[in-house]
Structure 1
């Protein structure tokens, strides 16, 4: 399975242990300061993308002399650096894309990065946004399996852009059956799996699933 991990330049303290995602046939792309984060973890940088306005002149010299595939863009452009990196990742036709370093800091950046998850509905490539506290995914109508992850014990289901119709949760502490969830509802925040895996299904709308933890391991 081919995986592309994109590391953006969000706050370093919100990054999980990137080495935990180091697997065979995984490609790493750095976005702006995310390139520095990858270098610090000694992860091979397949692609570097951005305007690189958040790195020092010394770091930029290193970048230009070290990274084989480097795409430098002007700071004034019609797409964010992370969106451009996602364009590159999609062109590689991976089986899935993981996005790190995309939370914390500026709220406009956070919201823009969350909406980038919608790209998976155009491409068919699953996208997951990950930080030290959370994993976030979007789903279209259908039936899905959720496996228990000890590092993220809480699961929340949130209507993303409209109401969600006939949401059913099975194998959860707080089950539901064909429940209408209005846009803006907090009904399905902070649930838990009571089995090793559960299922969720719904008939219309877009559903955001967030896996979370309260505390974080020391890195």
Structure 2
């Protein structure tokens, strides 16, 4: 497995990020524009730096410019893709099989919603991509998934339709079970479930779900 960390330009809790990175190992690190400030504060040297650098601190840019091994992917500010999308494309091009985004929540809601949408091309390519922050771990699923209580981000797990409809949802080992249930966009039915067994299993026949593991 080849894991990639993407540091984006959203709000990032440095204490949480430092603790998280002490426990996790990544083979590649991609920093995005404003995420460079967090990278420097965390003592991280990215393998690739991506963006138009319209929001980057010039002193931080100068610091990383001195490090010759870093690959720079520079884009014009007037472009179709966000810097985060460009970073994900770079991670996929490096044949990463798992991508974790830090700094992808908080701040502007349009960017946060856009970042959730960006997980879909990863799912289509069989890449596990997730957004994590101190309270949540969010990712997309398109079929049977097992949730292990010992590995959950928190006690709660929510399921929301990413596609217009998700069909045949069955939940086993959860506080609120379902059997062969279809749900469509516009419902909160899947919010705040909990495991009652060591493992919980979700199966469904068609569609894509947003899965969010959370704690209070």
TM-score by length of 2: 0.91
Q: CA deviation at 1:24?
A: 4.5
Q: Distance in 1 between matches of 2:104 and 2:4?
A: 15
Unaligned runs of 5+ in 2: none
Q: Distance in 1 between matches of 2:99 and 2:214?
A: 19
Cα contact 2:136–2:153 (8 A) shared by 1: no
Secondary structure at the aligned position of 1:66 is classed as coil
Q: CA deviation at 1:143?
A: 1.6
Residue 121 of structure 2 corresponds to 119
Secondary structure at the aligned position of 1:16 is classed as helix
Residue 11 of structure 1 corresponds to 11
Secondary structure at the aligned position of 1:12 is classed as coil
Q: CA deviation at 1:15?
A: 7.7
Residue 217 of structure 1 corresponds to none
Residue 198 of structure 1 corresponds to 200
- Equivalent residues in 2 for 1:66-215 (5 A)? 66=67, 68-140=70-142, 142-148=143-149, 149=151, 151-214=153-216
Cα contact 2:137–2:153 (8 A) shared by 1: no
Cα contact 1:11–1:101 (8 A) shared by 2: yes
Q: CA deviation at 1:73?
A: 1.3
Residue 32 of structure 2 corresponds to 31
Q: Distance in 2 between matches of 1:166 and 1:177?
A: 7
For each residue in 1:38-97, what CA deviation from the matched residue of structure 2 results, as whole angstroms up to 9, or x when unmatched? 221122311111111222222222122236212221111111101111111001112211
Q: CA deviation at 1:18?
A: 4.2
TM-score by length of 1: 0.90
Residue 20 of structure 2 corresponds to 20
Q: Distance in 2 between matches of 1:90 and 1:9?
A: 19
Q: CA deviation at 1:103?
A: 1.0
Secondary structure at the aligned position of 1:74 is classed as coil
Segments of 4+ moved more than 2 angstroms: 12-26
Q: Distance in 1 between matches of 2:15 and 2:179?
A: 36
Q: Does 1:54 align with 2:41?
A: no
Q: Distance in 2 between matches of 1:18 and 1:5?
A: 13
Q: Distance in 2 between matches of 1:132 and 1:25?
A: 19
Cα contact 1:15–1:101 (8 A) shared by 2: no
Cα contact 2:50–2:87 (8 A) shared by 1: yes
